[in-house]
Chain A
Amino acid sequence: MSYKRNPRAIRLATVIGLLVLIAGLFSGRAVYAEYGDVVINNYSDEAGMSPVVFPHWFHRIRFRCKVCHADLGFQFKAGGNDINMLKIIEGEYCGACHDGDLAWSVENCDLCHSGKPGTSTQVHGSTLQQLVGPAGGGAGK
């Protein structure tokens, strides 16, 4: 079987393929963070670091709420805890577990500071935030 030499057909196929992909490019797919992720941007912006993304789900599997919120003094509020690197190294807040013993330590900057630069402190995926604005935009509670 031989093809009809049809350069027009080939050009058409290429154009259609490209159009399909361009449609995909501009589709504006919404992205969703994992529910319960807390973005902490107390001092990160000033220091030129990406903000911290704290994944609640990962920690829920390993610790009950009481351990962090009753024993370690974390307040139920995104941005309501004055956490900075010095305190973490001294063993306060995150440093109580991320000390190289219970969990990895501070030399892995990027594992915590993995947020999109400029994202404000918020509880991502919270009910209000989903209504008020898209990811990174809303000032959440």
Chain B
Amino acid sequence: MNKRQNISGASRTITVAVSVLFAVLLTVWAFEEAGAADPNVFNRLMKPPSKRNPPPTLDGIHDPGSIGAKSLQPPKDSFSSLPKGKSGNYVDWVKALEEGKIQPRYDRLDPAAEPIVMDLNIVREVKGSMPDVVYPHKQHTEWLDCSNCHPAIFIPQKGANDISMASILLGEKCGVCHGKVAFPVAECRRCHSRTKGKEKAASKTDK
């Protein structure tokens, strides 16, 4: 005796389809999370774009149960309109400033204050085959004041500053900011930009 009424075939199919889809999605997600995926996957140490700039409740530092963390703006929302970078925040802050996408104040109270920008390049020769380092004051003085670095971090004198990659990684000299707030040193050519052999001693810049 057929006491129970079978639901129509269509509803059944839909339920099955949805569950299967769900199961498939979950499997994919689980494997993505587990990293049980291919150990030879391309660029396995790199964070895929989906994992960059996580919202405060998932970033590992904020307390996900706190009301504060839930009310804070997720970085991705803010970064969506800014030029992309390759490291750090994955935002190119210098470009964002140049293109006018952001208008950070130079003075706490005066939004119209203009920065004092110095256009001076320092070329540091390096040993070996790495291109020489070009330090551009222009991009830095748009953000910082002279006193932020001079003389506390860099003595403004030729030969007075010992800078090595290790000291930068340790958080000294350039590493006071780069590797902490400004872009980390993973992108070599951003600093090591003057190929050796070019005669540029004490000449004008080509900006």
Contacts and interface: CB of A to CB of B under 8 A. Distances in A.
A2 to B, nearest CB: 7
A42 interface: no
Nearest to B76: A34
B59 A17 contact: no
Interface in B71-115: 71-73, 75, 78-79, 88-89, 91, 93, 102, 104-109, 115
A61 to B, nearest CB: 5
Contacts of B66: 50, 110, 113-114
Contacts of A97: 108
A104 B43 CA distance: 42
B63 interface: yes
B134 interface: no
A64 B61 contact: no
DSSP majority for the B interface? loop
Nearest to B24: A20
Interface residues of A, number: 65
Contacts of A123: 180-181
A36 B181 contact: yes
B123 interface: no
Contacts, number: 187
Nearest to A39: B61
Interface residues of B, number: 66
B71 A111 contact: yes
Contacts of A34: 53-54, 56, 59, 75, 89
Interface in A86-130: 96-97, 102, 108-117, 119, 123-128
A135 to B, nearest CB: 4
Contact of A31 (B23, B58, B93): B58
Given A67-B105, A116-B61, 13 more contacts: A3-B12, A27-B34, A33-B59, A35-B88, A35-B184, A37-B59, A53-B56, A64-B143, A66-B106, A66-B115, A115-B63, A116-B62, A141-B170
Interface of A: 1-3, 13, 16-17, 20-21, 23-24, 26-27, 29-37, 39, 50, 53, 55-58, 60-67, 69-72, 76, 96-97, 102, 108-117, 119, 123-128, 134-136, 141
